[in-house]
Amino acid sequence: MKLTILALSILLVTYTGCSLSPVQGQDAVAVGNSSNRGTFTLTDHTGRTVTDQDFRGSYLLIFFGYTHCPDICPTALTVVANVINLLGERAQQVQPVFITLDPERDTPQALANFVSYFHPRLIGLTGSLDQIDAVAKTYFVRSQKYLPSAPSDTTVSEEDNNYLLDHTAASYLLNTDGSGLALFQHGTPATEIAKTIQSFIEQHALPE
């Protein structure tokens, strides 16, 4: 099972621009330590300002991506939706969240349209460039613009709106207090994720 406790150092594979081509990436993911609980202030898909404190008491299942993503993000969010459905009544204890890495294009309205395709309980979050950069750094999420029809070293200008993103593709599970529990690499089946979340809910504690 592709599950890693976030308090450990892991090999984190990132996927390029939603094409599943692996690029380099080795990060020490330490979201789960007591000094780093993934604090953020962002705007949800209804236009409401929310912080990490608004989600206390719920397990969070977070995926970072963007609405123009052609395949990886829709695939990942379909898995997230399936996880919520598989959890049945326990799903009420889990809040699925999609955080954009492309705030320049992903307005609250764009997010509202996007998340509605996947699950009625899925919340989309956006913010300023600084806010998104801050939360991405907290979770060691990386992203980079590129033009699919241009050489890889081409600089994307501010005027060019047809870019894609190379970005980290993984789902993060946070505890009810905001501390990290687990990281699911892209491709982990919904059944495995749901089983793991159910185990955490039943145990109310980190597994040994």
pLDDT > 50? residue 173: yes
Lowest-confidence segment of 4-8, 62-66, 85-89, 151-155 by average pLDDT: 4-8
Instruction: Give the rounded distance of the alpha carbon of 49 from its chain centre.
Output: 18
State the amino acid at position 173 in one-letter form.
Answer: L
CA 28 – CA 16 distance, rounded (Å):
20
- 59-203 CATH pick, 3.40.30.10, 1.10.3720.10, 3.40.50.670, 3.30.450.20: 3.40.30.10
Q: Minimum mean pLDDT among 39-48, 63-72, 74-83, 196-205: which range? A: 196-205
Q: Which phi and psi (to 5°) does residue 17 adopt?
A: 40, 35
3-state secondary structure of 138: helix
* Cβ–Cβ under 8 Å, residues 21 and 12: no
Residue type, 179: S
Please give the C-alpha separations between residue 13 and each of 60, 107, 132, 142, 181, in angstroms, as whole numbers: 21, 28, 20, 11, 18
3-state secondary structure 68-107: CCCCHHHHHHHHHHHHHHHHHHHHHHEEEEEEECCCCCCC
Q: Show me where the domains of the chain are located.
A: 59-203
The Cα 81–Cα 79 span in angstroms is: 5
Name the least confident of 179-183, 189-193, 196-200: 179-183
Average pLDDT value for the chain: 81
Q: What are phi and psi of 180, to 5 degrees?
A: -75, 140
Give the burial string for 125-156 (b: 16+ CB within 10 Å, else e). Answer: bbbeeebbeebbebbbbbbebbbeeeeeeeeb
Q: Cβ contacts of residue 9 below 8 Å, gap of 6+?
A: 28, 29, 30
Q: How is residue 63 written in tokens? A: 């995926």
User: So what's the pLDDT on residue 69?
Assistant: 92
Q: Read off the pLDDT of residues 102-123 as tens digits, 9 standing for 90 and up.
A: 999 999 999 999 999 999 999 9
- Higher-pLDDT residue of 137, 6: 137
**% pLDDT > 90, the chain:** 61
